[in-house]
Amino acid sequence: MKFKNLSLNTKFTLSIILIIFAFCIIFSLLLYYQLKRKVIEDANEKTRIIITQIDALGNYVKEELRPAIFKLLYERGEKDKFIVEGMSTTHVRLSVMKRFNNKIEIYTYKRVSTDPINPEHKADEIHLKMINYFVKNPNLESWSGIVKNGEHEILMMAKPVIVEKDCLICHGKIEDAPKALLEMFPRSKDFDWKVGDVIGVETVYLPIASTLGEIKGVAISTFLFGAVSLFFLFVTLQGAFFSFVIKPLKRLSSLFRGIVSGHEPLNQTIEIKTRDEIGELILSFNQMSKYLYDAQEATKKYAETLQTIFEGITDPLALVNPDCTVEMTNHAYREWMSQGRAAVFTEPCDLNKLDADKFCPLYFLKKVIDTKKPLSEYWEGEDDRHYFIHFYPVFNEKNEVVKIVQYVKDITEKRKIEEQMRITEKLAAIGQLSAGLAHEINNPLGGIRLCFNNLMSTNMDEETKKMHIEVINQGLTKIQEIIKQLLDFSKQTELVISPVDINTLIENVLKLTDYLISKKDIKVVKNFSYNLPRIMVDPNKIEQVFLNIVLNAIQAMDGKGGILKIDTYIKDTKCYISFTDSGPGIPESILKRIFDPFFTTKPVGQGTGLGLSVSKSIIEQHNGRIFVETSSKGTTFIVELPIEK
């Protein structure tokens, strides 16, 4: 049985039980992990103190005691002697820790190596892993964590043993080692250690399995105690809930069923015994029953009014069955039926025998039944009149189309008016393009102005001046070209096609925008394919497209520096030119509108929104495509042009 079909009392009971169970589990888990974290922190601190003390003791032996003993032995002429108890840092550390363990047994100290002098200090598997860990991480001074030793978990703190210069006396060549040490621990080869090598590891660890077991016991006890306590609280609340909520609701539900079955009048009033939420619910029921009674009476009047409105609709409207029989019609529909209009149904039909290629109202009706979706179509009948036909499916409980609402409108006169307005719309489009002229010529004017400013305010050699003058001349020429291009766009003039090197067109655009790119601290990355064939395009118009895209990219990265990446390549007999900026990307809310004429996000006076619209028109004139990909990391405009063979 589904949860939504259960009674309110059962839902409440199950919900509270689930909440209690979840609360107890979450609280117990939080308690367990908090206690575990505290135990591990305390254990880490204690092991750190122990290993620090042992390390300090070893340093004392290494830095003071051992040098003093060496000096004393040398003065007495016994330089080949070696007193392990006072000169071996490992022996001293282990001996001191052994005495420490006589008082506190839970801590275990080890100092081992991969190749020790004393074979007893050979590293086991766990310590070999630690040695390799410190070899791979030479900057680490220590490590602590929980490791498994067989089936037991232990908390371990480890420090690497690093070879120092003094260590090589005993851990270096045989000839340098004291003879007494070689007699105690014979060996036949030199050690290969160098200063700075990780020779071994020293660890302090203690088992924590029993402590974690105790913590688990505390968490389980807490869970059981909380669950039992909350269960008794729930029983108390359940009794109160049944008395104050469930019982009155059952009485109210019984009255509802009586009204539905017809045994109780709709406009009756139920006595209100309390002033709480249940009392307010009964009051609302009384108000609702009165409202429904009034609505029932009003519906009868509304039905008559709706029938009058239905009949008064001047366009044909009907309820049609799947076999084309008309079940309900208004006056206009019946009048069209009497006139034999082709847009309405006048006789039964068999949709299974319909010619699928026949474009007619019968075809529309079948399509609505098959797709189960509304349909609106313009259709020209055999009577040379134009209709706008709407079909709306009506479904049964099995989601089957059982009836179709048909609405028809004669739009013959409207079509005539639209035909007459076509020339007017073309003139309006020309006016809209002319309004964007200032935007399109502003870009080369900006370059000209910058060059003039440089000529007036900067001392430069004759070659540089010539370059600036050439740029100004190119900009003025570009203004003429842009005006002509915009006029061509508005008039839809033919293209001036010639074979062109696409890479050269891009370089021309980059020269024109070089100052802006440098000023905005933008880096241009060119990944050109130099195997591109010369493509048949209008060079002036394609340059305008590239210029619009580059300027948009510069604006997208305004004040932030960035990277403009330009790629050219061939794929599937198409030439692709992509421009990728590192700006913030285009918001999803405006992405679908960027190619609309006069849509712009620039401040007033800085653009009319014609750039991308004009670019799209130019590319489509070349039988190409322009599309955009965007994300928070940047935007890519891709121009696709066909390669003529």
For residues 139 and 147, is the Cβ–Cβ distance under 8 A?
no
Q: What pLDDT score does 524 carry?
A: 92
**CATH number of 425-642, picked from 1.10.1240.10, 3.40.50.150, 3.40.630.10, 3.30.565.10:** 3.30.565.10
User: Which amino acid, residue 494?
Assistant: E
Q: How confident is the model at residue 598 (pLDDT cuts 50, 70, 90)?
A: low
Q: Is the pLDDT of residue 47 over 60?
A: yes
Q: What pLDDT score does 432 carry?
A: 37
Q: What is the pLDDT of residues 302-357, one digit of tens each?
A: 878 877 887 888 889 889 998 888 888 888 888 888 888 888 888 888 887 777 66
Closest CA to 482 of 611, 596, 598, 619: 611
Q: Measured between alpha carbons, how far is 43 from 37 in angstroms, rounded to an integer? A: 10
Q: What pLDDT score does 114 carry?
A: 85
| More confident site: 500 or 179 | 500
CA angle 405, 411, 416 (to 5 degrees): 165
Q: Is the pLDDT of residue 599 over 70?
A: no
Q: What pLDDT score does 425 carry?
A: 35
Q: Is the pLDDT of residue 426 over 60?
A: no
Closest CA to 11 of 21, 25, 1: 1
Q: What pLDDT score does 581 carry?
A: 92
Q: Whole-number mean pLDDT of the chain?
A: 78
| More confident site: 418 or 84 | 84
Q: Which class for 22: exposed (0-12), middle (13-18), buried (19 or more C-beta within 10 A)? A: exposed
**CATH number of 317-410, picked from 3.30.50.10, 1.10.10.10, 1.20.58.220, 3.30.450.20:** 3.30.450.20
For residues 357 and 350, is the Cβ–Cβ distance under 8 A?
no
Q: Which class for 489: exposed (0-12), middle (13-18), buried (19 or more C-beta within 10 A)? A: buried
Q: What pLDDT score does 579 carry?
A: 95
Mean pLDDT throughout 229-253? 71
User: Across the strands, what pairs with 638?
Assistant: 578, 627
Q: What percent of the chain has pLDDT over 90?
A: 9
Most confident of 140-154, 246-260, 364-378: 364-378
Most confident of 87-91, 369-373, 469-473: 369-373
Q: Measured between alpha carbons, how far is 433 from 445 in angstroms, rounded to an integer? A: 19
Q: Measured between alpha carbons, how far is 158 from 260 in angstroms, rounded to an integer? A: 79
Q: Is the pLDDT of residue 596 over 80?
A: no
Most confident of 166-180, 330-344, 405-419, 570-584: 570-584
In sequence order, the 6+-apart residues with CB closer than 8 A to the CB of 553 are 564, 579, 581, 583, 635, 637
Mean pLDDT throughout 84-112? 81
Q: Is the pLDDT of residue 592 over 70?
A: yes
Q: What pLDDT score does 278 carry?
A: 67
Q: What pLDDT score does 576 carry?
A: 95
Other CB atoms within 10 Å distance of the CB of residue 546: 23
431: which 2 tokens?
């006016």
Q: What pLDDT score does 32 carry?
A: 75
Longest dimension (CA), the chain: 139
Q: Where are the alpha helices (DSSP H) in 349-436?
A: 361-371, 412-435
Closest CA to 551 of 510, 523, 582: 510
Q: Is the pLDDT of residue 137 over 70?
A: yes
| More confident site: 49 or 621 | 49
Q: What pLDDT score does 417 carry?
A: 62
Segment (H or E) for 143: strand 143-149
Q: How confident is the model at residue 637 (pLDDT cuts 50, 70, 90)?
A: very high
Q: Is the pLDDT of residue 625 over 70?
A: yes
Other CB atoms within 10 Å distance of the CB of residue 231: 14
The residue extents of the domains of the chain are 11-213, 274-312, 317-410, 425-642
Q: How confident is the model at residue 167 (pLDDT cuts 50, 70, 90)?
A: confident
Q: How confident is the model at residue 423 (pLDDT cuts 50, 70, 90)?
A: very low
Provide the sign of the torsion angle of the four alpha carbons 284, 285, 291, 292, taken in this order: positive
Q: How confident is the model at residue 639 (pLDDT cuts 50, 70, 90)?
A: very high
Q: What pLDDT score does 357 carry?
A: 65
User: Across the strands, what pairs with 577?
Assistant: 568, 639
Q: Is the pLDDT of residue 438 over 60?
A: no
Mean pLDDT throughout 121-137? 87
In sequence order, the 6+-apart residues with CB closer than 8 A to the CB of 91 are 84, 85
Q: What pLDDT score does 7 carry?
A: 64
User: Which amino acid, residue 365?
Assistant: L
3-state secondary structure of 296: helix
Mean pLDDT throughout 229-235? 74
